[in-house]
Amino acid sequence: MSQPFPPARFAGYEAAPNIALVKYWGMRDDRLVLPRNSSLSMTVSRLRTRTWVRFDPSLRSDRFSLNGRPAGGGPLQGAVDFLDVVREEAGVSMFAEIRSHNNFPTASGLASSASGFAALAGAASLAAGLRWSPREMSRLARRGSGSASRSIFGGFVEWQAGRRPDGRDCFARPLFRADHWPELRDIVVLIADAPEKRVRSARAMQETVRTSPAYSERQRTVAGRLAALRTALRTRSADRFLALIMEECDDFRRVCETTVPSLDYLTPSSRAVLAAVLDLNRRAGHPVAGYTHDAGAHVHVFTFQKYVPRVRSRLRRIPGVSATRVLSPGPAARVIGVRSRSA
Ligand code: DP6
């Protein structure tokens, strides 16, 4: 049994969102959050979640505030379920207080569950007295949200699916550091009328596994694409990299759209962004940009520093695009402090 350390003091942790270049979509075990395929992502710069946690014997229930407001419903339940995992691991029975802040809009489709559960995994395990390695933290973060397992690490990250039924071999590992490809940029294209995410991806993906006739074909090809992308990253092969992320995104969209009922995350403006990227490449005569998106309407357009002005000015002119933000590969999750008051 571990002792919360120091008792009733806040432990703080910070983590950044990540964008999946090879997607996690489908679980072999939904209680332990064990995926059917490995995935690969880039942790981003500039955006972050900061979370403070304390376990306190005087609390009568768990408390969770997000951006200064008490959270309820699904988000609170998700946090409580996650704290139960931490309490079991640490042999702690106290309730906890969680204070979390994002420096970006929460339900904006910018993967707040990834940075949120990575930061919570770090803060809660520290507050509970668990002295865990990043790998163990990745395994823990996975239980809150699969994609969070990758946000423990910076740069380019692979989450290996593993084979064991108990999930011991299911964690993320860093592939390449954040400075591996200094020219690479991710232009996040924010869509003004993006609908709020109503169903968690963890649920939506299980509908895909159950109903999409395209899913088994995806499962046959996804590991090969991941290996090819790893090579394109290692050799910094721009053309291959851009082609592969778009191929993967199209495959992900195909299994979503063939899910019954269909999962359509894009708006007409998102689709106009995808078309503009293809058009930019056609006009340039070689790939200058590549798109990807997750289960939401915003689009990530990958390109290189020298093309950013050209690509960005084209994307900004698309009706329904509210903003663009230029991101780079970002840092690993880290401790931000232990205090008697949260920040
Ligand atoms: C399409 O693990 O973020 O972003 O927390 O339930 O929403 P929830 O699930 P999460 O699902 C990620 C799905 C994805 C692909 C990916 O990030 O690999």
- Selection from 229, 145, 226 nearest residue 218 by Cα: 226
> Tell me: the pLDDT tens digits for 214-258?
999 999 999 999 999 999 999 999 999 999 999 999 999 999 999
Distances (CA, A) of 67 to 55, 145, 300, 313: 20, 19, 25, 32
Cα separation, 130 vs 126, whole angstroms: 6
> Tell me: the pLDDT tens digits for 103-122?
987 655 666 799 999 999 99
The pLDDT mean for the chain works out to 94
What class does CATH assign to 9-178? alpha beta
State in Å: Cα 23 to ligand 1 middle: 8
User: Is 184-327 a CATH 3.40.50.300 domain?
Assistant: no
CB atoms within 10 A of CB 81: 12
State in Å: Cα 281 to ligand 1 middle: 29
Cα separation, 109 vs 250, whole angstroms: 18
Q: What is the pTM of this model?
A: 0.96
Average pLDDT, stretch 183-191?
96
Instruction: Give the pLDDT confidence score for residue 140 in this predicted structure.
Output: 98
State in Å: Cα 151 to ligand 1 middle: 12
Best residue among 21, 22, 24 to mutate for probing ligand 1, ranked by most atoms within 8 Å of CB: 24
Distances (CA, A) of 26 to 202, 212, 256, 266: 8, 11, 11, 20
> Tell me: the pLDDT tens digits for 270-329?
999 999 999 999 999 999 999 999 999 999 999 999 999 999 999 999 999 999 999 999
State in Å: Cα 130 to ligand 1 middle: 26
The pairing of beta strand 95-102 with beta strand 63-66: parallel
Ligand 1, CB cutoff 6 Å, lining residues: 20, 23-25, 39, 113-114, 145-147, 200-202, 294-295
The domain ranges of the chain are 9-178, 184-327
